[in-house]
Amino acid sequence: MSYFVRHLPYQQTGYFSQLVLDFLAAHPQVSPFYAYAPLQADFEKVIAARKQVPVDRPVLVQALQQQYEGLTLHDAVQANIAHLQSPGTFTVCTAHQPNLFTGYLYFAYKILQAVKLAQDLKQQYPQYNFVPVYYMGSEDADLDELGSIYLDGKTLTWNTQQHGAVGRMHTEGLEPMLEQIANSIGFLPHGETLLALLANAYRPGANIQEATLYLVNELFGRYGLVVLVPDSPALKRLYIPVMKEELLQQTSYKLVTKTMEQLGQHYKVQANPREINLFYLLDDKRERIVKEGNRWSVLNTEFDFTEAELLAELEAHPERFSPNVILRGMFQETILPNLAFIGGGGEIAYWLELKSLFEHYKVPYPLLLLRNSFLWVDNNARKRLEKLELQSTDLFQDTLELVDAYVEKHTNAGLVLKTEYDAIEKLFDELAEKARAIDVTLVASVAAEFKKAGKSIGKLEHKFLKAEKKKFAWQTESIQTLKSKLFPAGSLQERKENLIPYYAQYGPAFFDVLLEHIIPITDQFIIIEEEA
């Protein structure tokens, strides 16, 4: 199988916010909110800054070894965990919640970009080691988002009554979803292999973070990817100083609110801080901590603490305190010797709110990289494009505009009445001169009639195009079919579809093709067209 690759600048896709586009362009409105230019990465500078603030490597390595107990590790993963003990080893990281069955396609793209960046950095700086890390946001409690996948044009949802952090939820009740997945992919070349892998991952008795760790390790372990589950007492203990200050002084609220006011002058802000940006995490609960007078309570529970009781609880059970989106990134950078963070547009947006927080705590702010975006065009879709004499980049246009442009390009009829409009404009110019000679107040009447005539010409153009489009019925239908297939529900393919059918069709080779064409630092959307 061979592949043809096209590139399209992000600003030409119509799917990215102005903030993200300005971030890539290093616009002066955005540049104060990050540490390193995203397209001119100076990794020597990033490495030098990271060296100044070492992390507790023994605690990190021991936590990783504990979480991997009982799993079969690829040699590359074992080697990378061992490398992390050395001060000459750094990480490149991406993060995502433990969506069921990996969630969206871009989950794989983020991970593979981290892998590719680590490989590239090793070539550039052979004296160091670089470990790709997937940081699992297993303490997220948004089951509505994490508990569904989109497959074969339908949304499959996990029906469970469990509450709290999704990563701690158990896999009971997933059998109907697994059965629906089997009906969808069982006949595909790698379908049975994938189904067995999913069944092992989401086995009875496992929780979601264990299942995700198993699945990601099996899928990406051969590339040396290290999965980090931060729901760990030892790792949380490293963050106690920050969490203590957060509880007592609400530092992050003050700093991030000021940044948001500055950023909000030009852009829509992504994440709003709370006065306390920590949750209390216990069993099936993940609830906000709020301060009322001289006491701290946990919403929707009976937990209530004095200052002394709260600090004692933090010291004895740091794992019961869960950073929200405002404090999560700095926790990640506190426990990892990290250089770069790879995130989607939404993640980049909220990271831009956090720089002052990092500066306050003297934690190195990483190089931010926008994750790669892909459009995967299979062989059938490519053949349709060829038959229509379209390129895959054309599909980023609005469907109606694309159909209209197609008809105008391929019709033999004169659908654009420019000549006629020019003739009418000339006529009314002459009428305006005559009106001016008779009575200057008549010129306005001539202008009004000219405007009406222009609208009439526009209506005729629309009717001509509508009538001509009927002659292009199969082409119109084919364009609409392509759009709905490659941009499901009007969204980017990667933001809607699941990895499952792609892996079931292509197997591990799907990742190898993506890895070959990933560009870790770029402002280009990547389109991969399959050629039989």
pLDDT tens digits, one per residue of 475-508:
888 999 999 999 999 999 999 999 999 999 999 9
Supply φ then ψ for residue 93, to 5 degrees: -130, 145
Which pLDDT belongs to residue 437? Answer: 82
109 shares its domain with 187? yes
Which pLDDT belongs to residue 319? Answer: 96
Which pLDDT belongs to residue 214? Answer: 98
Alpha helix stretches (DSSP H) within 397-492: 399-410, 418-438, 442-469, 473-486
Please state, in angstroms and rounded to a whole number, the distance separating the CA atoms of residues 18 and 491: 17
257 domain residue, yes or no: no
472 domain residue, yes or no: yes
177 shares its domain with 55? yes
524 shares its domain with 469? no
pTM given for the model: 0.89
pLDDT of 159-176, one tens digit each?
A: 999 999 999 999 999 999
41 shares its domain with 167? yes
Please state, in angstroms and rounded to a whole number, the distance separating the CA atoms of residues 93 and 111: 8
307 shares its domain with 334? no
Domains in the chain: how many in total? 3
Please state, in angstroms and rounded to a whole number, the distance separating the CA atoms of residues 199 and 185: 14
Which residues lie below 8 Å from residue 280, measured CB to CB, with a gap of 6+? 286, 287, 288, 289, 298, 301, 303, 320, 321, 322
Q: How far is CA 219 from CA 215, 295, 489, in A?
A: 6, 47, 28
Count the Cβ atoms, other than its own, within 10 Å of residue 520: 21
Alpha helix stretches (DSSP H) within 191-301: 191-201, 208-220, 233-237, 240-249, 251-263
87 shares its domain with 175? yes
364 shares its domain with 418? no
Please state, in angstroms and rounded to a whole number, the distance separating the CA atoms of residues 393 and 443: 47
Please state, in angstroms and rounded to a whole number, the distance separating the CA atoms of residues 93 and 225: 10
Burial 68-105 (b: 16+ CB within 10 A, else e): beeeeebebbeebbebbeeeebbbbbbbbbbbbbbbbb
For residues 239 and 332, the answer to whether their CB atoms sit within 8 Å is no
262 domain residue, yes or no: no
323 strand-pairing partners: 278
As averages over each run of 10 residues, the pLDDT of the chain (532 residues) reads 95 96 96 95 96 97 97 97 98 97 97 98 98 97 94 95 96 97 96 97 97 98 98 97 98 96 90 93 93 96 96 98 97 98 96 97 98 97 94 94 80 56 73 81 79 74 63 81 95 97 97 98 97 80
90 shares its domain with 200? yes
| The token pair that represents 142 in the structure block | 């948004």
Please state, in angstroms and rounded to a whole number, the distance separating the CA atoms of residues 77 and 119: 14
186 shares its domain with 139? yes
261 domain residue, yes or no: no
Which residues lie below 8 Å from residue 223, measured CB to CB, with a gap of 6+? 76, 112, 115, 132, 511, 515
Which pLDDT belongs to residue 436? Answer: 82
Please state, in angstroms and rounded to a whole number, the distance separating the CA atoms of residues 237 and 161: 31
111 shares its domain with 229? yes
128 domain residue, yes or no: yes
Which pLDDT belongs to residue 411? Answer: 67
12 shares its domain with 31? yes
For residues 399 and 67, the answer to whether their CB atoms sit within 8 Å is no
- The label of the residue with tokens 């802000």 reads 269
258 domain residue, yes or no: no
43 shares its domain with 99? yes
State the Cα angle at 105 between 102 and 111, rounded to 5°: 75
Please state, in angstroms and rounded to a whole number, the distance separating the CA atoms of residues 449 and 452: 5
Which pLDDT belongs to residue 415? Answer: 47
151 domain residue, yes or no: yes
Segments forming the whole domain that contains residue 443: 379-491
For residues 496 and 359, the answer to whether their CB atoms sit within 8 Å is no
260 domain residue, yes or no: no
